Structure 1
């Protein structure tokens, strides 16, 4: 059977049988002057060529047939779409001339095919001029040799599938994922998740999976929710499960915070939010949401709670100290003016100590600027000195805690007040040396006065200052204090446990 077709010179002719089902492309093939090509006139074509063309024209896949060692081109309607504006002019052309911009690539294809080899390329990038301008194109290409009746390679059959749109869609999706990742990261979001209740599987992004110690590639395709639950701190796991079950049952959003226990023993706090999606019957079938790393906020909150408790404790202690000072001062003075002066000095010493330790009870706990003994001694004793060189401090740079600084401030003030009245600081040539060193598990402090009025022995009765000093060192700091009334001057020895020094 033959079909009528119009040739290039307008003459109507019948189509050969092998072209009868090729439509417009078959008519283009029939009308071409093949006698001017290496293939020769249609009447001379071998059966194997006619069979391959018939197969190619009947296929819905984009196919091109490169015949002979010159690779003369035949193709079907699917390939014509890929060829763009080069169709139909490349029909019957040599492939190296029809696609000169990829001649090197096609030469390799022809050489391989005529060696009887097949080739396959997935998402092959080529730059084509199919529409008059350079264009990035991605193709899946499968090349197979075609053999003649004698079993020798006679051509190459190429199945061509353009993946350009898919490539750009995937590239855009990847860009969107990167933008989303940057946005989530800027917002402190760990990642996003999607839980399918019917299967129990969770689908997550890479960041979420890694944070929960789940393989990211598996999580992208869905893994049992139990694998994510395994990363939750054991102490929180039951509460999380109960909260989630109740939220799903009641049809409300999931909103909770819990700890994650990582393999290295580190703990992170996460805030999880999720919203349910219902089917036509109103039943929740999916829950999707995100998780945020709130570890820093949790740590900060805990520090604030500790700070409030610490401030409350310190204020109570301060009022207790002041109350005790008022009571004991009232018992040891003879007039209101004297009581006012004594109390004022002691309160000033407390204020100086507080100014030194203020960062320790108001700053963030891990950013505390600790007070050293040298700082404390200089702050409390400076008002009692006539000359700066009267005071010699030989103490290590040991940090002193809040409790120890408060108690020592009162002791130093009382000792300095007595020295100003009766001891070495009452005369211009007097000196005061303070030495500090570690003695076993305690800190030893020596208060040594020299150059003051001679001392004949201890006073006939213990004054309030001495009692306050003993109460502070022994009662507040769990230490010991001894007074040595030497003729050259007062020598006080204080032993304070190191664990109390830093409190």
Structure 2
């Protein structure tokens, strides 16, 4: 029996088709281009979270499209009437507090449409879009970290040159600092399978800031005094990322960029939460960044609010920046 003979014996009836569409999460729709009436199958009404009672128009459905995508989708659907061949458009819709990504696909051109109805399908592509956004975010974060590491390496070379008595001594100190930086970087990006126990808050700051300390005449310019408390494995990653970003900024623009600059990190308990104050003094005059800030500012804010359940604020005094970190004590222990 040939493949063609097999196909002719299969049941391609409505029931089989419906099962296949439901299994694939496909919703079917029909749009009357004259009356603007929009009709969907059960899967479509469920996907858009709209009632199938009463008349539904394309304009009614458009109200659920994300405001940033609404005009683009309206224009695209109107344009499909002149498109010859298949078309596809992805956009966001709002379902309560959630955002869903929808892919609308169909066949364009008024030619050949039946009873003035255009037909097509909707697919829920939220998972794919979230994965794409995650990959883009990861790529941006990795690019940002590589640029910062290059700047840090340059800054550490300058710090080392100030306290070295010979080329050999400088090479030894720089190697030690870069090795410490590698250990600090592992805290920012834990190695796969690393199931370490909770670290002490003070130890976390000390390890991460060790590469930036001078060993010569300027030794002791970094001082850490925080409550003795444990930091869970998950929270350590986020907090390490914040400390590393603040130290990098200080080395590039703040107190750690010149020999006379100092850094004080102090902490206290406020109820069940922890407040850490990062104080820079003796460095170059600082001023607030213009605009919304760069990727580093976004990274700090996102990590503090999302990962650590807290807040971050800056006081841009002329003597040096003062950064206040408020962290949810319950999340810090996880």
For the criterion TM > 0.5, the same-fold answer is yes
Cα distance, 1:244–1:343 mapped onto 2, change above 3 Å? same
Where do residues 94-243 of structure 1 align in structure 2 (5 Å cutoff)?
173=14, 175-176=15-16, 178-185=18-25, 189=26, 191-216=27-52, 223-243=56-76
Gaps (5+ residues) in structure 2? 1-12, 211-226, 251-264, 288-295, 297-311, 316-321
CA contact (8 A) 2:83 2:109 kept: no
Classify the secondary structure of the residue corresponding to 2:189. Answer: helix
2:122 alignment partner in structure 1: 291
Q: Does 1:498 align with 2:320?
A: no
Q: CA deviation at 1:195?
A: 2.1
Deviations 1:194-214 (A, max 9, x none): 223233323311110232233
1:271 alignment partner in structure 2: 103
Q: CA deviation at 1:338?
A: 0.2
Classify the secondary structure of the residue corresponding to 1:261. Answer: strand
Separation (CA, whole Å) in 2 of partners of 1:248 and 1:199:
15
Separation (CA, whole Å) in 2 of partners of 1:206 and 1:380:
56
Classify the secondary structure of the residue corresponding to 2:168. Answer: helix
Structure with the greater alpha carbon radius of gyration: 1
Where do residues 282-361 of structure 1 align in structure 2 (5 Å cutoff)?
285-359=116-190
CA contact (8 A) 1:213 1:231 kept: no
2:219 alignment partner in structure 1: none
Higher relative contact order (CA 8 A, sep 6+): 2
Classify the secondary structure of the residue corresponding to 2:108. Answer: strand
CA contact (8 A) 1:394 1:436 kept: no
Cα distance, 1:300–1:497 mapped onto 2, change above 3 Å? same
Q: Does 1:247 align with 2:84?
A: no
Separation (CA, whole Å) in 2 of partners of 1:407 and 1:309:
18
Classify the secondary structure of the residue corresponding to 1:350. Answer: helix
CA contact (8 A) 2:187 2:240 kept: no
Q: Does 1:394 align with 2:224?
A: no
Deviations 1:472-492 (A, max 9, x none): xx999979xxxxxxxxxxxxx
Gaps (5+ residues) in structure 1? 1-171, 363-368, 383-392, 412-434, 446-466, 480-494
Cα distance, 1:272–1:372 mapped onto 2, change above 3 Å? farther
CA contact (8 A) 1:260 1:270 kept: yes
Q: Could you tell me the TM-score, scaled by structure 1's length?
A: 0.40
Alignment size in residue pairs:
241
Separation (CA, whole Å) in 2 of partners of 1:370 and 1:313:
28
Separation (CA, whole Å) in 2 of partners of 1:197 and 1:370:
63
Deviations 1:226-274 (A, max 9, x none): 3322221233221111111122123343311111122x23221111111
Cα distance, 1:343–1:211 mapped onto 2, change above 3 Å? same
Q: Could you tell me the TM-score, scaled by structure 2's length?
A: 0.57
Cα distance, 1:180–1:287 mapped onto 2, change above 3 Å? same
Deviations 1:296-332 (A, max 9, x none): 2222222222222222222222211211111232232
Classify the secondary structure of the residue corresponding to 1:231. Answer: coil
Cα distance, 1:265–1:284 mapped onto 2, change above 3 Å? same
Among 433, 438, 449, the alignment partner of 2:268 is: 438
Cα distance, 1:318–1:499 mapped onto 2, change above 3 Å? farther
Separation (CA, whole Å) in 2 of partners of 1:496 and 1:228:
46
Separation (CA, whole Å) in 1 of partners of 2:325 and 2:19:
55
Separation (CA, whole Å) in 1 of partners of 2:39 and 2:115:
17
1:373 alignment partner in structure 2: 201
Separation (CA, whole Å) in 2 of partners of 1:320 and 1:345:
17
Separation (CA, whole Å) in 1 of partners of 2:102 and 2:240:
34
Q: CA deviation at 1:182?
A: 3.3
Separation (CA, whole Å) in 1 of partners of 2:178 and 2:142:
19
Classify the secondary structure of the residue corresponding to 2:29. Answer: strand
Q: CA deviation at 1:292?
A: 1.2
Cα distance, 1:444–1:250 mapped onto 2, change above 3 Å? closer
